[in-house]
Amino acid sequence: MSYCLNPNCPNPENLPYGERCQSCGSQLLLRDRYRVVKALGQGGFGATFLANDQALPGEPSCVIKQLRPSGTAPHIIQMARELFEREAVTLGKIGNHPQVPRLLDYFEEREQFYLVQEYISGSTLQQEVKRTGVFSEVGVKQFLSELLPLLEYIHEYKVIHRDIKPANIIRRAQDSRLVLIDFGAVTNQVNQASVNQSEHTALTAYAIGTPGFAPPEQMAMRPVYASDIYALGITCIYLLTGKSPKDLAYNPTTGEIMWEHHVQVSNHLVDVLRKMLDVSVRNRYQTAEEVLRALELEPYLDSLSKSLISQPNGGVKERTTHRLEDSGIYSSNPSGVSGLSVAQVAAAIRARRAKIAEGAGITHAGGTRQKVLTAKSTTLASNCSGSQGQKSPVMRQLDSPNLIAAYLKGRRDFALHKLNLLNLQGANLSGTNFHSSQLERVNLQGANLHNSDFGRASLNRANLRDANLSKAYLNNADLEAADLRGADLSYAYLQNANLRGANLCGANLTGAKISEEQLALAKTNWMTIRPNGKRGLL
C-alpha cells in the first residue's frame, strides 16, 4: 500500500507503487525515494509513518516523522517547528549509540518538515507487559542494567529526554536489546536554579513530558538530569505491577505515589526505587551512575536466588532472556536455573569477579569499580558451581569466508561469536554487531568497521592497524595490546575500554569518548590525534 502524507487527504490509502494519490492528487513518493506504507501514530505536533527507502538496495524500512501541529496559530506552528528541529539535532548528536534510533534524513518538502529515522522493529515494553505479564525482580534489575548506561550516555551530551516511559522503550526483535525512542520532548537546558516565569515560553510548556511519569520539577518546567531517573523509576513500577501512574494512589501529604504494597521485591530494590522516586530532587539520585552503584548485586543475593526460580503462570519468568551482566549469570530458560542455592549464585558471582580482576587489569581509570553495564543482545547460560550438570553454551564459530559471505547477504549480527585469529584484512564490515564476541588476534588491518558495535568484545592483541573505527561502539571492550596504529577512532565510544598496552601511535581520536587515564595506559606518539583534535604526546 502507498499512504498519502497530505494532512487534509480524505482517503490517504492507495494502491502500491502509485505515483499520485487517487483522492487528493498529491505525489506519493517523498523526495523521490521514500514510499510511505502506513501510519504508525500521531502526537501533539508530529505524525509518524512506516516507509520504504526505494533508493537503497532491498528497500529497507524507515520511520518518517512529519511535522503536523495540533493547532494552526502562528506561535503553535513555530513551537512545533522548534521541537522538531531540536529532535533532529539531538538524534544527530547522540544517534551513534546502538540503543538510540539513527537519524537518516531531515528535510523540508512542499512546505512540510520531515525527519527520517532508523526503523526499530519490535514491541514496546508497554505491549510486552500487556502480552506476557509483569516483570520479576530479576527482570527489572536487568532492565535497569540496560537503560541506566544509556541514560548516562545521553546525559553526558547534556540532553534530558523528558519522556521516558514503557511506550517509548522498544525491545528490538533482531537482538532483544532495549532501544529508547521518541526524542521529541528533549531539552538541552538544565534549569538548576529557579527560572523567571516570563521565561516559560509556549515551547517549554508544550514539551513537558507525560503526566505521572514526569516528576514535579519537570511539571513545573524546571527539568534536571534526575528528572529522567524519576521517570525510569516510575517505569520500573509499571513493569512490576502493570499499573500506570494514574492507576496508583498518591500520598496527599507528601505527593509520593503509593506503590510498595503492590510489589513483592527485596528490601534492597525497594530502597533503590524509593530514592529514584523521591519527589525532592535534592534527595533523589543525581546521576545514572549513582543508581548503578546502588544496584551492586551482593546485598540482595537471597532475593536474586529466589527470583531466578521458575514460576508458573507465564509472565516474565518464561522470557527467553534473563541476564545479569555484573554477575555473569545468564539463562536462556529460567527453569534451567531452578533450585540454585544462594551459595551457588554467590559462587558464580565471585568467580566471575575474580576472572574480571585477573583479566588484563579491568580496573579501568586507576582501579575504579567495574560498573554494571548494558546487558546486550545475546543470552548466555548459567555456569554456576554445583549446578548439577548444566552446561555453558558454546560460542558460535565462523571462518573468514563464511562471515564475509553472510555480511554480503545482509547479515549484520555476529554477537557472541568466536572469531579468534580470523583474517579479515581490508574487509567491509561497517555497521556490524560484534557485541561480546571473541576477536583475539584477529586481523582487521585496513578493515571498514565504521559504526560497528564491539561492546564487551575481546580484541586482545587484535590487528586493527589503519582500520576505520569511526563512530564504533567499544564500551567495555578489551583492547589490551591491540595494534591500532593509524586507526580512525574519531567519535568512537571507548568508555571503560581496556587500552593497556594498546598501540595508538598515529591514531585519530578526534571527538572520541575516552579518558586521560585510559590513554595513559596506551602507547602514543607525536602523530596521535587527541580527542580535542590536537596532535602530540599525551
Residues carrying an active site annotation: 163
Give SS3 for 41.
strand
Residues 6 or more apart whose Cβ sits within 8 Å of residue 186: 86, 87, 90, 159, 160, 161, 162, 207
Q: How far apart are CA 56 and CA 469, in angstroms?
A: 23
Contact 452, 432 (CB under 8 A): yes
Q: Which residue from 6, 56, 58 is spatially nearest to 27, judged by alpha carbons?
A: 6
- 291 alpha-carbon distance from chain centroid: 17
* CA-only gyration radius of the chain, Å: 24
Q: How far apart are CA 16 and CA 20, in angstroms?
A: 11
Q: How far apart are CA 469 and CA 507, in angstroms?
A: 10
Give me the residues paired with residue 20 across strands. Answer: 27
Strands (E), 130-263: 169-172, 178-180
Contact 111, 66 (CB under 8 A): no
Give SS3 for 91.
helix
- What the block records as the C-alpha cell of 374 is 548494558
- 100 alpha-carbon distance from chain centroid: 5
Q: State how beta strands 122-124 and 169-172 pair.
A: antiparallel
Q: How far apart are CA 385 and CA 367, in angstroms?
A: 28
Q: At what angle do helices 225-241 and 267-276 cross, to 10 degrees?
A: 140
The DSSP element (H or E) to which 436 belongs, if any, is none
Q: How far apart are CA 31 and CA 108, in angstroms?
A: 9
Contact 452, 475 (CB under 8 A): no
Q: State how beta strands 29-30 and 13-14 pair.
A: unpaired
Contact 277, 258 (CB under 8 A): no
Which parts of 157-255 fold into alpha helices (H)?
A: 202-206, 216-219, 225-241
Sign of the torsion angle spanned by Cα atoms 275, 277, 283, 287: positive
Q: How far apart are CA 534 and CA 538, in angstroms?
A: 10
CA dihedral (119, 117, 202, 112) in degrees, to 10, reads: -110
Contact 210, 163 (CB under 8 A): yes
Q: State how beta strands 417-418 and 396-397 pair.
A: parallel
Q: Encode burial over 293-304: b for 16+ CB neighbours within 10 A, e otherwise.
A: ebbebebbbebb
